[in-house]
Chain A
Amino acid sequence: MWKVGFQTVLAPVLTALLYLLIFSYVLAQHVEVYPGVHYTAFLIPGLMMMAMLQNAFANSSSSLIQSKITGNIVFVLLAPIAYWEFFAAYVLASMLRGLVVGIGVYLAALWFAQPPLLFPIWIILFAVLGSAMLGSLGVVAGMWAEKFDQLAGFQNFIIMPLTFLSGVFYSIHSLPPFWQALSRFNPFFYMIDGFRYGFFGVSDISPWVSLMVAGGCMLGLTLLSLGLLKSGYKLRY
């Protein structure tokens, strides 16, 4: 991760800051999502979580697809490593990158606004869970994809829409009923909402519900990844 730190840590932090700069300048005077919470401060947890999710996914998926395409995945496959150790290594690396990027976004964003940290336990819980879940999804995508195009499709048509439509920039209460209902099928929404609860103590739905949904998704993705790895899906032919 550190050898390519510009690409893996600094670039996503800069991207998040650009979002913050533009959206806060454009919308800060017009929008108040939660009473007493400045829009710039409201944006910060959402942008942090978005950066964590996207980078955790990118880490495991791109590591896998690159190793598959260049062929050096063979060195990992030749080693006496169990399928669950393989999974743990990729997911822990993704979590590390996700959390480092998240902390980077937070520290850089402090220059714009200082959101409170009311419930740090919830913040840590959702940060860890979100990074792990997307790291796990990245393992599945990296195993499935056979070329960069397929992975880019996964990223652009699944990860990106789910992230942008999850309440990073707004509360789902500001949406029409149809879109509100649809948002509840988006697991990313629960992670961002629960994460934001840790900062402000207010959320669109109970953080316990968010925790259950995020935990359930994490469990499902973990089982799927482990099953695929055990069978050697697209790795051990």
Chain B
Amino acid sequence: MEILNAIVLFTNFVVVPALSYGSQLALGALGITLIYGILRFANFAHGDTMAFGTMIVILLTWLLQSWGISFGPLPTALLALPFAVVATAAMVLVTDRLVYAHYRRIRAPFITMTMASIGVTLVLNGVVRFIIGTDDRTFFDGERFIMKAREFKTWSGLNEGLAIKSSQALTVGVAFILVVVLFWFLNRTRTGKSMRAFSDNEDLALLSGISPRKVVAVTWIIAGGLAAIAGTLYGLDKSFGPFTYFQLVLPMFAAAIVGGVGNPLGAIVGGFVVAFSEVMLTYAYKKFATYLVPPEWAPDGLLQLLGTDYKFAVSFFILVIVLLVRPTGILRGKVI
């Protein structure tokens, strides 16, 4: 019984939140890794691209709510999401035309493009704050839980409850479907294969008649769409704040690099590695340990390795270790 309680406790506070956070990071990291592999620069504007997409979702959600439209038990934001995906894809395509296209034409080095993306992120962040403000916003509506802690307790007879928020289930489900579709696209379709070829060997792709314009445009559309979706899922699960999203760039980059940058499968693995490390290192194990050891051994302290304020340090730490020990990432990507 005690062991079961410990497992449920751990699942409730570590596994479930980390799974959903990991899915959000994975979707973001996929966008970063696609841009890195195909456009060949580190896109620091990805966090603010997520913020832009989420902002559109929030504005549309308010509009729909004001019209009295809802999506039943599901969040209204899901109705707004397709429009936000289109708007975000359009926004990144315009950005590409205005900024990055120039640097591609003059064959600017990696670092120039990366620095340009920092400029883009500052502008985007300003635009988002200007339109929607700097406050934290929650925009979740509909049925909050698909399983409540109390219901689980009565059903199982355990002391510990297991709660699953609908936003968490939604995140994992949507991420899973998107990943399956993306891999099908990359591995089975002509356009997807041409993107992989372009990422693998640009010169040979050009010699094979693959159009760089099309590959670049499709890459932006996918990365922008994924960013809008990842941002919305994160905002539904937690909350939306322009600065929070800006900071998300760090764990997402860590995920992309840890998994093996340029390698889509690696981005997913990396997303979960970073999420589980963050959650596991900042969780207080006191109660968990109390269930497992004899009462007299029960710990006095919180058994928390790191305060949650330091969670970004975890991403940094994993990043440094991976770059030192295995610069290509867990699954072999490109060396940075």
Determine if chain A interacts with chain B: no
A residues near B (Cβ < 8 Å) are none
B residues near A (Cβ < 8 Å) are none
